[in-house]
Chains A and B, each alone.
Chain A
């Protein structure tokens, strides 16, 4: 098993769908909008509508649902944790069951379900965004959307460049970690057994080489960038043009309709069902 098989968020799958072609700035804004929207949804109907639209988006992206699902796996425990905390420590509702300091209420059950669903959908939406948007587009979009902060002497370009490089090196470092772990295990490193102290020692044998290598890479990369005339954001031009297309307009209109729809379904009285 490779580490990069597990971590899906942040991985980009090149493609040519409408979602891929949209302006990254629009995607970023709409994604934020969806996340905010998610916090307004309170009812089953709202969630169902949200989920339906999301599935429609996944279909348009031509990315397999299974791949997205794998992105969710690493945080399943976080979702489960949220669920349990919400379930056992409710603040309101009719008690259904009680033991010592734990109490389960009817509203608590609902809330636990909603909270974990919300978290899952949040990760789902964001994973979808990173899967259809190349990291460099994303950081470029951030760079441009936040360029007004330059007035406040915040080094927006440098931050965006750092993010690009970080994203570029994630797969490389994952591969490297994988290799170092294997090498140390083959020297009998106690990475998977023994008491906590022994395991810690095992992790040190992985972390130190990883740090050494990351520093060496950073050093070499800095030289390579300088050799290619990199000197900060001043006077730079860009390969990728960001221009709004008709598709972006439609997406915005659809997204707004979608928001309205979700909220409508959300606040729709139950008796209408």
Chain B
């Protein structure tokens, strides 16, 4: 699904003394099947933006086009939007409520009016997509699962609505390294195998850099930087001005470059970095 945002502005409590401009004049476009990293400090407008994309908030000004149709139009059926753009909130496991896993995952499609026969199929399919076995989980209470499993079940709950775009807000927050790795691997699979358009929202540069094809950086409601990870990493100063920092490896490399090391920009791996640094040291020796 192609997304195009034009001059989005959102103001909380317009005209009131605590009026707050959460987004101002944000424009961007996202191609079908892209993996986007949306990053910014707390209060930079990330969550406002994703809520607009999901139709939970209407922009104060500007338009959002999904495959060419304007969802900021008042007449548009928000329900259809929410089925197309799935939003996984931060700590989604806190929204689990049903008696069994399958009932909870079925909540979304049921609300959309999907026929009964198909719901079961969708539930199994969604659970498989996040790497859970439907047979062993279907009838268990979601509250008895481990933290990581709960989170996967709640992601399945959104996937069961078969969205074309999947937005994930701080999806690894509070998980241990193992849980983080598993969930990020699942999301990468969704992108590669299912060709889903994915928007990963985070304030953690490391995980954004690892997966995204393109990174959007928000600061105080404005889109201040946009580009591929490599492009972003060459602009350490701009990134820092947004209150963020590069992931450790690009940071080391960027610091070394500043101190006269000649290193290529596209290094993503520790072994690779070590080889280039060694080469550079010996080049100096010759």
B partners with A: yes
Q: How far is the CA of A153 from the CA of B92 in the complex (A)?
A: 45
Say whether A180 contacts B94, CB under 8 Å.
yes
Is A186 close to B, CB under 8 A? Answer: yes
Q: Which residues of A contact B56 (CB under 8 A)?
A: 182, 185-186
B111 — nearest CB in chain A belongs to which residue? Answer: A188
Contact A205/B13 with A183-B89, A187-B158, A188-B83 known, Cβ cut-off 8 Å: no
Is A155 close to B, CB under 8 A? Answer: no
Q: Which residues of B contact A180 (CB under 8 A)?
A: 94-95
B99 — nearest CB in chain A belongs to which residue? Answer: A208
B51, B112, B161: the one contacting A182 at CB < 8 Å is: B51
Is A189 close to B, CB under 8 A? Answer: yes
User: Could you tell me the distance in whole angstroms from the C-beta of A84 to the nearest C-beta in chain B?
Assistant: 31
Q: Which residues of B contact A185 (CB under 8 A)?
A: 56, 82
Q: How far is the CA of A185 from the CA of B55 in the complex (A)?
A: 10
Say whether B143 contacts A212, CB under 8 Å.
yes
Contact with B along A168-183 (1 / 0, CB 8 A): 0000000000011011
Give residues 85-101 of B contacting A (CB, 8 Å).
Answer: 86-87, 89, 92, 94-98
Q: What's the dominant secondary structure at chain A's contact region?
A: helix
Say whether A188 contacts B51, CB under 8 Å.
no
Give residues 79-123 of B contacting A (CB, 8 Å).
Answer: 79, 82-83, 86-87, 89, 92, 94-98, 107-108, 111-112
Is A204 close to B, CB under 8 A? Answer: yes
Say whether B79 contacts A209, CB under 8 Å.
no
Is B172 close to A, CB under 8 A? Answer: no
Is B68 close to A, CB under 8 A? Answer: no
Q: Which residues of A contact B87 (CB under 8 A)?
A: 183, 186
A64 — nearest CB in chain B belongs to which residue? Answer: B17
User: Could you tell me the distance in whole angstroms from the C-beta of B76 to the nearest C-beta in chain A?
Assistant: 15
Say whether B161 contacts A188, CB under 8 Å.
yes
Q: How far is the CA of A218 from the CA of B86 in the complex (A)?
A: 32
Say whether B51 contacts A205, CB under 8 Å.
no
Q: How far is the CA of A185 from the CA of B52 in the complex (A)?
A: 13
Is B37 close to A, CB under 8 A? Answer: no
Contact A183/B95 with A64-B17, A188-B83, A212-B143 known, Cβ cut-off 8 Å: yes
Q: How far is the CA of A183 from the CA of B95 in the complex (A)?
A: 7
Is B202 close to A, CB under 8 A? Answer: no
Contact A205/B143 with A185-B56, A188-B83 known, Cβ cut-off 8 Å: no
Q: How far is the CA of A175 from the CA of B79 in the complex (A)?
A: 24
Give residues 1-60 of B contacting A (CB, 8 Å).
Answer: 13, 17, 51, 54-56
User: Could you tell me the distance in whole angstroms from the C-beta of B114 to the nearest C-beta in chain A?
Assistant: 10
Contact A213/B94 with A187-B111, A188-B108 known, Cβ cut-off 8 Å: yes
Q: Which residues of A contact B221 (CB under 8 A)?
A: none
Q: Which residues of A contact B158 (CB under 8 A)?
A: 187
A179 — nearest CB in chain B belongs to which residue? Answer: B89
Say whether A189 contacts B94, CB under 8 Å.
no
Q: Which residues of A contact B157 (CB under 8 A)?
A: 187
Say whether B111 contacts A209, CB under 8 Å.
no
Contact with A along B238-264 (1 / 0, CB 8 A): 000000000000000000000000000
Q: Which residues of A contact B86 (CB under 8 A)?
A: 186
Say whether A188 contacts B96, CB under 8 Å.
no
Say whether B17 contacts A187, CB under 8 Å.
no
Is A16 close to B, CB under 8 A? Answer: no
Provide 10 A-B residue pairs closer than 8 Å at the C-beta atoms, listed in order of the A residue: A179-B89, A180-B94, A182-B56, A182-B89, A183-B87, A184-B95, A187-B82, A187-B111, A188-B82, A209-B95
Q: Which 10 A-B pairs have the closest CB atoms?
A: A188-B111, A208-B97, A187-B108, A183-B89, A183-B95, A186-B87, A205-B97, A209-B97, A209-B95, A186-B54
Q: Which residues of A contact B (CB under 8 A)?
A: 5, 64, 66, 179-180, 182-190, 204-205, 208-209, 212-213
